[in-house]
Amino acid sequence: MSNIADNLRTYLHSSHLRLIERTSAVCSSRSEKIYLAGGVVRDVLLGTTPSNLDIVVVHPQYEFVDHLARGIGGEVVSRSQFDTFKIIVSSDEIDVATARREEYIRPGALPTVEETSIEEDLSRRDFSVNSMAVSLNQDSWGELLDPHGGEGDLKQKLLRVLHERSFIDDPTRILRAIRYAVRLNFHIHSETYRLFKRDMVYLQDISGDRVRHELERTMTEPFAWDVLLRGEEEGVLSAIHSGLKFGRIHNAVNTSNEQRVEGNDVVLAALIYFSSDVQMGELAIRLKMGTRWSRIVREVRLIKSASQRLRAPGLSRSELFTLLCDLHPEVIHGCAITTQDTAVKSSLYFYLNDLRCIRPSIDGDDLLALGVPEGPQVGELLDRLLHDRLEGLLSSRADEEAFVVNKLKGCLD
Ligand code: ATP
């Protein structure tokens, strides 16, 4: 059995290393076996620093997690129905789970869960490279458990499921497969790829919450666009819903510098831009969208419905500002990337790059100080100043003050 203590020392963040050393010490007088497991092991073997710590404990005794949290100076901040816990220690988080077996009553359903050995826990996981564990007990610190050949697959850059029904049991693994394939630049093993294609249809069975959660995780990846474009190519997006598509923008996004835009609101807006109104409504229901996603859908609809005005040659700067100023810039950006209409695209970018931050230099207090009486005239003047700033009729604070003074003297309309 290989020992990867050196990898832990080299690649774990120093505060994470301290935390697992303390965890090990706190548990030294206890009988439970404890492991680091899953993506964290994959990452340290790949020579990268994992962002989170996942600890698995086998058959924990009563109040194990509270004992651990106290011992490492942390606090248990959440407990789930599947015996998973989150402990916060200063600014670090540790996820602790009981080693468990999962059974799926039907495809896409949430599993029923039972406590089990570490080996069985590893065999319920998604891909061999995520099915390794490292012992944290003091007598076996750093020993690698790799019952599914994960280390070999890591070397060959392969994603491989552990059994033939894996994607049927949990179709979210289909989304996870493209996420890892793109992020790690791995190939999907040929047999796994056959199952991936065969079982894509089961994506329809996953609950809206779960599919939205996986999409959300995808959208926060640094390579979110590439993952979603791959998802589109493979038919994964349309298997979730026909309204999820980059459509004709595919090549444009693929080759453009705009591809690396951060922010998942941008990606979501781009992803739904080509959906019809009906499809957007269906998507909101299918993905059980909450307030934020529904707001993005609403704003994309607004921008699409304003297309005619956005492309009109005579559109003034202040009209453009008024059309877009209440919408979130990320959504406007997602639409700007996606739209094929060059006039609409340039209006959206013009707003984002040039108009969005324009404001008058003086505010309501300045107006009062200049002698404007309190009341509706203050708001009217501020609107007028903004309008004239946008149109380039005023270009400095001095211009604005002169405008207000003249207005007060009755020299202006
Ligand atoms: P990331 O690197 O994006 O943080 P991760 O590989 O750590 O991801 P998580 O989603 O945080 O993955 O889950 C932790 C581990 O739990 C995974 O590495 C995998 O072993 C297991 N796991 C997570 N989701 C599933 C799933 N749907 N099916 C099977 N195993 C899963």
Residue 80 pLDDT level (bands cut at 50, 70, 90): confident
Nearest CA to ligand 1 atom 15: 38
What confidence tens digit (pLDDT) does each residue in 225-254 have? 899 999 999 999 999 998 898 765 554 454
Residue 256 predicted with pLDDT over 50: no
What is the band of 413 on the pLDDT scale with cuts at 50, 70, 90? low
Using an 8 Å Cβ cutoff, are 368 and 378 in contact? yes
Q: Report the mean per-residue pLDDT for the chain.
A: 91
Q: Report how far residue 240's alpha carbon sits from residue 200's, in angstroms, rounded to the nearest whole number.
A: 9
As for ligand 1, residues whose beta carbon falls within 6 Å of it are 38-39, 51-52, 54, 125-126, 130, 170, 172-173
pLDDT in tens, 93-132: 999 999 999 887 777 777 888 899 999 999 999 999 999 9
pLDDT score of 79 more than 50: yes
Whether residue 298 is predicted with pLDDT greater than 70 in this model: the reply is yes
- Could you tell me where the DSSP H helices lie in 2-63? 5-11, 14-26, 39-46
Report residue 257's pLDDT band, with 50, 70 and 90 as the boundaries: very low
pLDDT higher than 50, residue 400: yes
Question: 111-120, 254-263, 397-406: lowest mean pLDDT where?
Answer: 254-263
Which pair of tokens denotes residue 138? 């003091």
DSSP-derived secondary structure for 220-241: TSTTHHHHHHHHHHHTHHHHH-
Residue among 42, 46, 54 whose CB has most ligand 1 atoms within 8 A, to mutate:
54
Neighbours of 385 (CB within 10 A): 23
Instruction: Please tell us whether the domain made up of 5-156 is placed in CATH 3.30.460.10.
Output: yes
pLDDT of 255 higher than 80: no
Give the per-residue pLDDT at 259: 45
For the chain, the structural domain boundaries read 5-156, 241-357, 364-408
How far is it, in rounded angstroms, from Cα 322 to Cα 374?
Answer: 25
Statement: residue 388 has pLDDT above 60: yes
For residue 334, which phi and psi values (nearest 5 degrees)? Answer: -60, -40
55-78 average pLDDT score: 93
Q: Which two tokens stand for residue 336?
A: 């700007």
Both tokens assigned to 380: 């009217």
Buried b (16+ CB within 10 A) or exposed e, 209-230: ebbbebbebbbebebbbbbbbb
Closest ligand 1 atom to residue 54 Cα is 14
Per-residue model confidence as pLDDT tens digits over 145-192: 999 999 999 999 999 999 999 999 999 999 999 999 999 999 999 999
Distance 159 CA to ligand 1 centre (A): 13
Cα dihedral 380, 386, 391, 397 sign: positive
* Distance of alpha carbon 239 from alpha carbon 242, whole angstroms: 7
What is the per-residue pLDDT across 350-371, written as a single tens digit (0 to 9) for each? 999 999 999 999 999 999 998 8
